[in-house]
Each structure stands twice: as structure tokens, then as C-alpha cells.
Amino acid sequence: MASIDEGHARTRLLGLEQASRPGGTAAAAEVLSDEERYRGRWSTLSNTTLGVLMVTIDSSIVLISLPDIFRGIHLNPLAPGNTSYFLWMLMGYMVVTSVLVVSFGRLGDIYGRVRMYNLGFAVFSLFSILLAITWMTGPAGALYMILTRIFQGVGGALLFANSSAIITDAFPPDQRGVALGVNQIAGIAGSFIGLVLGGLLGPIDWRLVFLISVPVGVLGTVWGYVNLKEKGVRTPARIDWLGNTTFAIGLVSVLVGIVYGIEPYGGSTMGWTNPWVLLALCGGTGLLVLFVFIETRVAAPMFRLALFRIRAFTLGTLAALLAALGRGGMMFIMILWLQGIWLPEHGYSFVRTPLWAGIYMLPITFGFLVAGPVSGYLSDRFGARPFAMAGMALATVSFMLLELLPINFNYAAFAVLIFLNGAANGIFASPNRAGIMNSLPAAQRGQGAGMTTTGQNGAQVLSIGIFFTLVIVGLSGSLPHALFHGLTAQGVPAGAAHAVAKLPPTASVFGAFLGYNPIQSLLGPSGVLHHLSPAHAAYLTGRSFFPRLIAGPFRSGLHEAFDFAIVAMLIALAASWWMPSRRPGQEAAAKAQKASAA
């Protein structure tokens, strides 16, 4: 039986043979000398890193600035029937990038990665402008922004799908770890930088949240068209329309089911029993199974299943998916922890908590920024496996230690632990990405990168659904009882207290997440607060009543979420352990030797 390396070499040779047929453009790229191919690589890295940083900042900047955006368009996201606007403003962008990156990676392989990447910069910039000039208000304004943000996500998907492949084409194997590490860490760090920017810009003017991307996007678009050169292998082929359609509808159905699954349904605290949610999840899963069958039958599939015969690609992609599954919901649950409990208990008004939550989360960004490039540099010399394993091991330990923190923690301990968690993911991300990209045939780097990114982005959406579900389940067990007795103790009539206590915990969680005073949001519309004594009303809507009420129930859900993250990290650690252990130079030499022998 042929070894993995032999199969890899033959796959690569087949790709070059197909690309060099009449009408192909790959041959020219392959005969470039090393000096020509790798010239201008650092400029290429700076442009692609700028693009990924911009996209990931924009994915999280809305997370913190949502209260200001909803106030700006005069919409109460907690009013009955409006929670879907909140969820889609938050997650629609992630859904569309998850769905499209594989298709756009494949288009990059066919028509040129640089061409697709530059188009992504232009599309992203255009829809950033359209978001900033929103003129409608109320539900119409929210719907306009959701649709425009989805199209902004199309530009983001074009950038995501092709940046790693462009960097891999531009750098020699012994420098790819550093290059991909800088790019990957910039992307992950952008998610946390966006939290601070959203908190700073939103209160000044919510339109600045979207305008800040415009000059960066215009600069990146012009710079890309002038600077970036096509150096990759292009493989002319027909577009797999049937595969693209089945994959898109199937994945959209699953992700939409996850989004609506975390909304209340009927008398249930969540929507997982909603027939439409079940239909979306089951139907979407069925379409994805059909998609896999289709991809084994078409001549030029969008999802090249043969790539999974490459051990480094398969295990690296699995590890990256599991790391994203464990990490994706963490930012969400940490913000809930800070905004709903810790910050109000330490003197911050609810309206100020979004900004300060972003600031207090900065140590995790510093961890990414410090560890990522160093890990990438070292993995170029010693191989990806030990660093990917070390990253997942440290992430596991950091989650275990976070479980030991009390709900009202000492911030110094919290900062150290989230710094370690950020460093752990930084240590893992660069070698993991380099190992994946180094394993791919040159003609299929865009497609392979898209497949990996789709797994990561989809896992992040799923992770938010899982983490949120665990927290709500933890709250629903004891929060209604605690809320009823807490309200009646402060003079709220039993009928009004019962009506509030039986509401799904989702409203309280959403309120805390958006920086609203949860008790004010729950009792305000009923007018009960006006009939209470000033002292009781002030205590109920103050900074301590709700955080102390929610702390115990929240802790239960928090620990279950951390347990889930620990399991995901341990499986990612096992997958990383099974990855090939060769250093990039050894692997390239072995492939060349196998290819010449073949």
C-alpha cells in the first residue's frame, strides 16, 4: 500500500498535470524561480493580515455596540417579536462566512486567489459604507442592516477563503509558520480588539462602528490590486453547481436551526423542541449527507474529499474545528459573566458594562499576540506537532483553573487565566495552520483552506449555541424561584413577581448582554416600580440585586460550559498528537524524493 507521502505526491503531480493542460495557467506559476516566487512576501503578508484583521474586528465590534446600534435605529431588541433581530445582527455575519468560504476557496483555485481576495476587499468596503448610511429606523432599519451585514459577510468570506492560500504561495516552507501565525493570530486577536473598539465608538456614534472599516478597506483594496501578484497554481475547472447549492442550503439550514434553537418557544425556555428548528436541523443534516455523496460523483467537486486522505490535513482540520468549538462560545459566556454579574458588583452601571467588558477581556488578546508569532517561528524549525499539542494542553489547564474561580473573582487571577488561555490558543493556531497548509497540494490550497475555515466558523456558531444552551439550562432550574422570592421580599406583588419569574431566562441574559438593566427591563413595562417605595425600587434596579440573584444559577451553567470546552480541547490535543512530526524542510525533501521516485 502506498504511504501517505506517496499518495500526497501523486495527488500533487496530478494537480500540476491537470493545471498545465491547454487553457490552464498553473504551469507558469510552477516554473517561477524561488527568488521570483518569494519576492515581496512580507508585503503580501501585511496586506492579507490587514484584511483578516479588518474582517474579524468587524465580526465582534457589533457584539459590544449592539445597544448603541439599536438605540440609534429606535428599536427595543427585548420587546416581544424583536429578539430575532438581535440574534441575526449578532450571528448572521458568522453564518454567511461559514457557508461561503469553501466555495470561494474553490473559486480562488480556479480563477486566481488574488483576484478573489481583492474582490473581497472591495465588497467588504462597499457594504461597510452602506451600513454606515442606514437611514431607516425600527424593524425596517434592523432588517436593512441585517441584510447589508450579510452581504458584508460575503466580502469577509472572500478574504477569509483565500488569505491563507496566498500566504502559503508567497512564502517558502521554512517561513510559513511565522507568516501564517501572524495572519492567524491577527485574525483571532481582531475578535477581541473589536470588543474594545465597539465599546469606545458606539457611545460616540453607532455609525462609526461601520465607518471605521471604510478607510482600511479602501486602502487594502487599492494596495491589493497594485501589490499582490498571482503566484499560486490555478486549475481551470467547471463550477460544481449542484454541490455548491446542496452544501449552502444544508449548512444554512443547520446554522439557522442553531440560531432559533436558543430563542424561547411556546412555554419552553429554548426553541430546541420547535418543529421548525427540528426540521431545519434534520433537513440541513440530510442535505449535507447528500452533498458528501454528490462530491464523490462529480468530476470537479467543490469539497475535495480526497484531501482527507492526507493525515496532516485531516487531523489538523479536526483539531482546529474542536479548538474553535471549545473557544467560540467562551467570549460570549465571559462577557455575560462580566456584564451580568462581576462589573455591576464592582460599581459599574449596566449601561457602561459593554465597554468595560471589552477592556477587561484584553489579557486574552495579549496572550494571542505574544504567543502566536513565537510559536509559528519555532514550529518552522522543530515541526508543528509539539506546539499544537502544547497549546491544547495549556488551554485545557486554563479552563480547569477558570472553573475554580469564584463568581465574584479577584481580577488579577482572572486576567492571568484568560491570558494563559489566549496564549494557549496562540501557541496552537500558528503551527496547526502551517501544518495544514504545508500538507496541501499547491493546486488545492484555496479549496483546502476554505474547508478548514468553514469548519472553524461553523464550529464557532455551534459553540455559541451550545454554551448559551448550557447557561440557560443552568439558570432555568433555580432562577425563577430565586427571582420570585427576591422580588416579593422587596414589596413586588406576588402576581407581578410570578409573571416575571415565569418568563424565560433568555430575556434576562439578553438584557445583561446588551448592557440593559435586567430588572428595569422586566418590571418597567408593567409599571410596578412606580408603586414601590423609592428605597425598594432603587435596590431592585441597582447594581447588586440582579447580579447576586443570578450568581448561583449562572455558576452551574458556567461550569458545564467549561467542562464542554475541556473535552473539546482534550480531543483536539489527541488529534494534534497524531499529526505527522516532520519539520517543514524534512517534509518538503521527502515529498520531492517520493515524487521523483514515482
423 and 341 inside one domain: yes
Q: How far is CA 170 from the centre of its chain?
A: 26
The tens digit of pLDDT for each residue in 145-195 reads 999 999 999 999 899 888 888 888 888 877 877 787 778 777 777 877 887
Give the pLDDT score at 36. 64
- Angstrom distance (rounded) from CA 551 to CA 467: 17
Give the pLDDT score at 389. 94
- Structural domain including 200 reads 35-239+300-474+554-592
65 and 160 inside one domain: yes
Residue 30 lies in a domain: no
Domain end point (choices 255, 271, 299): 299
CA dist 440 → 109, 173, 353, 443, 446 (Å):
12, 12, 45, 8, 9
249 and 398 inside one domain: no
Give the pLDDT score at 9. 38
Residue 158 lies in a domain: yes
DSSP state of 205: -
Count structural domains, the chain. Answer: 2
**H-state helical runs in 346-444:** 353-360, 362-382, 385-404, 411-439
Domain end point (choices 252, 273, 299): 299
| Cβ atoms of residues 345 and 408 within 8 Å | yes
| Res 11 pLDDT > 60 | no
Beta bridge partners of 268: 265
- List all residues 6 or more positions away from 49 whose beta carbon is below 8 Å from its beta carbon: 163, 182, 183, 186
The tens digit of pLDDT for each residue in 336-394 reads 899 888 999 898 888 788 788 888 988 988 888 888 778 878 888 888 889 999 999 99
336 and 457 inside one domain: yes
295 and 234 inside one domain: no
283 and 187 inside one domain: no
CA triple 594-435-306, angle to 5 deg: 60
171 and 41 inside one domain: yes
The confidence band for 420, taking pLDDT boundaries of 50, 70 and 90, is: very high
Residue 206 lies in a domain: yes
Domain end point (choices 255, 270, 299): 299
Q: What is the pTM of this model?
A: 0.78
The tens digit of pLDDT for each residue in 489-500 reads 888 888 888 888
* CATH number of the CATH domain containing 379: 1.20.1250.20
269 and 393 inside one domain: no
The confidence band for 31, taking pLDDT boundaries of 50, 70 and 90, is: low
Residue 354 lies in a domain: yes
DSSP state of 267: T
210 and 260 inside one domain: no
- Angstrom distance (rounded) from CA 59 to CA 41: 27
Helix/strand/coil for 492: coil
- Angstrom distance (rounded) from CA 394 to CA 89: 33
Residue 516 lies in a domain: no
Radius of gyration of the chain (CA): 25
Give the pLDDT score at 13. 33
The tens digit of pLDDT for each residue in 529-552 reads 888 888 888 888 888 888 888 888
- Angstrom distance (rounded) from CA 511 to CA 509: 5
245 and 331 inside one domain: no
| Cβ atoms of residues 15 and 444 within 8 Å | yes
269 and 354 inside one domain: no
Neighbour tally for 505: CB within 10 Å: 25
228 and 294 inside one domain: no
Residue 172 lies in a domain: yes
Burial grade of 523 (CB within 10 A; 0-12, 13-18, 19 or more): buried
Residue 518 lies in a domain: no
Neighbour tally for 4: CB within 10 Å: 14
* Phi, psi dihedrals of residue 236, rounded to the nearest 5°: -55, 135
DSSP state of 33: -
Residue 515 lies in a domain: no
Joined together, the cell numbers standing for residue 145 give 442592516
- List all residues 6 or more positions away from 58 whose beta carbon is below 8 Å from its beta carbon: 93, 124, 128, 152, 156, 194, 210, 213
| Cβ atoms of residues 303 and 102 within 8 Å | yes
